[in-house]
Amino acid sequence: MSVISNEDQKINLLGLDQEGLKSFCASMGEKPFRAVQLERWIHRRGAKNFDEMTDLAKSFRAKLAQVAEIKGPEILRDKTASDETRKWLVDVGGGNAVEMVFIPEKDRGTLCISSQAGCAMNCLFCSTGKQGFNRNLTSSEIIGQLWHAEHTLRKDRGVTDENERVISNVVLMGMGEPLQNLEAVVPALNLMLDDHAYGLSRRRVTVSTSGLVRQIDKLAERCPVALAVSLHAPNNELRDKIMPVNRKHPIEDLLAACKRYLKVAPRDFITFEYIMIGGVNDSEEQARELVRLVKDVPCKFNLIPFNPFPGSGLLRSPEQSVKAFSKILNDAGIVCTIRKVRGDDIDAACGQLAGEIKDRTKLAEKRADRQIIIKEITSSSTRSPGEEK
């Protein structure tokens, strides 16, 4: 597992899960229990240097300082919205920065983290995808977001008990496609679940995907947590246009992968995310088509009002359309919730995370047909009900 970019740098222990720490300690001639000590100091207590680790021998601390470090994220910007949603802009080097968001609620605290600098999925409705893609984040950059947010929030709230968590849920729904970066994502997930680190339940850690079928199977094998699938359309024709990934992984294959995942999933349902875009995917007939599509897949739907961003060319569905759509799903026996818009006054709402990305894929240039596609999919809303599929 690679946690450093070249041989001259110290190893960043922040990104090593327990197995990685055991291997590291073994390479230094230390016993496996040292790995647990390091893990607890770094993640449970938020230690930033080895001098804080008072129950480690001075000789061991001296050796650690020569070859390793605990390097957390550099925060470029820290904003809090009127609804107390908090967003951090994190420097990941090379002119790139990613965003993470903390959403406080009465019964939980949810952190939305990023897994890539940019995103190569190029979905029509997403601000991140509009920027293009630069690189995968390392395990330390992924878990570092939780490390920073948890210990910053503890300090702000005066929490001194290491067993008291501020963040109860983590969703990999920020910038990037997590399943394109499994080699770094899995060690980060292991740390989230490990009782010596963050001790989160598998049910409270969610990986979101645009629909990478083979990678869903790999996640099932390596670290099954809650799964959220970005569906956003009731048929291949529309999904092809708004989510290019569908051309390679059509809906039938995706739903089959979801059924396989349920055999090992911590929940007995798949969550389907569905962004409500005005005049594109929000008609009552499309809701009925969706019911027919997922009739054999245990699932719940999370309807997300589209959050506009500069140059999107798309509109948020009217509230009455969202409610009518939701009613059709609920009446069919499908659990359906409507996500509250949170943090949109600081561009922290779903689909708005943008950060600062140097696009090495030139996706922005390749998206020259964007307006043509938008015009094509929105023009269908002018058809009369009898003309709808």
Mean pLDDT of 344-356: 54
> Residue 150: enclosing H or E segment and its boundaries?
helix 139-157
Fold of 89-387: TIM Barrel (3.20.20)
Is residue 169's pLDDT more than 80?
Answer: yes
- Grouping H, G, I as helix, E, B as strand and the rest as coil, residue 274 is strand
pLDDT band at 307 (very low <50, low <70, confident <90, very high): confident
Mean pLDDT of 289-303: 98
Is position 365 annotated as part of the catalytic site? no
Is residue 389's pLDDT more than 50?
Answer: no
Question: Count of CB atoms within 10 A of residue 151's CB?
Answer: 21
pLDDT band at 145 (very low <50, low <70, confident <90, very high): very high
Is residue 28's pLDDT more than 80?
Answer: yes
**Cα–Cα dist 100/146, whole Å:** 9
Domain ranges of the chain: 11-69, 89-387
Highest mean pLDDT among 5-9, 99-103, 307-311: 99-103
Is residue 267's pLDDT more than 80?
Answer: yes
Q: Output the pTM of the full model.
A: 0.90
Polymer length of the chain: 389
In angstroms, how far apart are the furthest CA atoms of the chain? 79
pLDDT band at 280 (very low <50, low <70, confident <90, very high): very high
CATH code that applies to domain 11-69:
1.10.150.530
Residue 131, both tokens:
């920027």
**Per-residue model confidence (pLDDT) at position 388:** 41
Is position 99 annotated as part of the catalytic site? yes
Is residue 351's pLDDT more than 50?
Answer: no
Is residue 245's pLDDT more than 50?
Answer: yes
Is residue 349's pLDDT more than 70?
Answer: no
Q: Which of 30, 39, 69, 99 is catalytic?
A: 99
Mean pLDDT of 172-186: 96
Q: Which of 112, 223, 350, 356 is catalytic?
A: 350
**Per-residue model confidence (pLDDT) at position 303:** 97
pLDDT band at 354 (very low <50, low <70, confident <90, very high): low
Would you say 145 and 73 are in contact if contact means Cβ atoms under 8 Å apart?
A: yes
Is residue 382's pLDDT more than 60?
Answer: no
**Per-residue model confidence (pLDDT) at position 356:** 72
Quickly tell me which residue has 């055999």 as its tokens.
263
Apex 379 CA angle, 291 and 246, nearest 5: 50
**Per-residue model confidence (pLDDT) at position 167:** 98
Is residue 365's pLDDT more than 70?
Answer: no
Mean pLDDT of 5-10: 62
Q: Which range has the worst mean pLDDT, 274-288, 306-320, 367-381? A: 367-381
pLDDT band at 384 (very low <50, low <70, confident <90, very high): very low
**Cα–Cα dist 180/134, whole Å:** 13
Is residue 386's pLDDT more than 60?
Answer: no
Is residue 9's pLDDT more than 50?
Answer: yes
**Per-residue model confidence (pLDDT) at position 278:** 94
Would you say 14 and 140 are in contact if contact means Cβ atoms under 8 Å apart?
A: yes
Apex 48 CA angle, 44 and 54, nearest 5: 75
Would you say 232 and 254 are in contact if contact means Cβ atoms under 8 Å apart?
A: no
Span 51-71, pLDDT tens digits? 999 999 999 999 999 999 999
Closest CA to 96 of 360, 353, 356, 354: 356
Full 3-state SS string of 176-204 = CCHHHHHHHHHHHHHHHHCCCCCCCCHHH
Mean pLDDT of 29-46: 96
Is residue 209's pLDDT more than 50?
Answer: yes
**Cα–Cα dist 21/14, whole Å:** 10
Is residue 347's pLDDT more than 70?
Answer: no
